[in-house]
Structure 1
Amino acid sequence: MARWVRQISHHTLMGSGRDPLQWLDRDWLSVLPSEEEKCLALFPSVNPMVAQLMLRRAPSLSWLLRATLTELQVLLPEVPHKVI
């Protein structure tokens, strides 16, 4: 089963048009949540990984909270609309 999930994930990544090396680089992920991450995780559908991705790409937490839907979609194209 795990092999099938891996193969589907690999096929999806390779067909997505994203740079695989950039997508697979997760050095920025942290095990311990920051206060900003905890704040974002209070929103429905925002999990710790999405919260860290948002904080990594945005200038600040306050910018994220003030951003329009369009700005967030441009900043986070891989995050589903329902999460944003």
Structure 2
Amino acid sequence: MALGALNICFKDASAQALYMLGKQMPDYNDKTVVEIAHDARAIHFMAHPCVQKWLTQLFKGNLHVKELEWGFFRLPYWFKVSSG
């Protein structure tokens, strides 16, 4: 039922759906909807494009990759440095 509700909400108001995924629920020990779904092992809910988009924004939203050089020394290209 939760997956069906997420489908409808994501189609009608994607920004509101993304906001609600991160909202803490006081009735559930201040857990977010994603945390509740994780605890319940609801893999189909966690695989929904809306949840995946929310997770991507959460973990990669504030990363800014830049090159650092110190004289003759340069970090390898595979080494990522976050400046956030």
Q: TM-score, normalised by structure 1?
A: 0.22
Work out which of the two has the higher radius of gyration on C-alpha atoms and give 1 or 2.
Answer: 2
Q: Which has the higher strand share?
A: 2
Higher helix share: 1
TM score, norm. by length of structure 2: 0.22
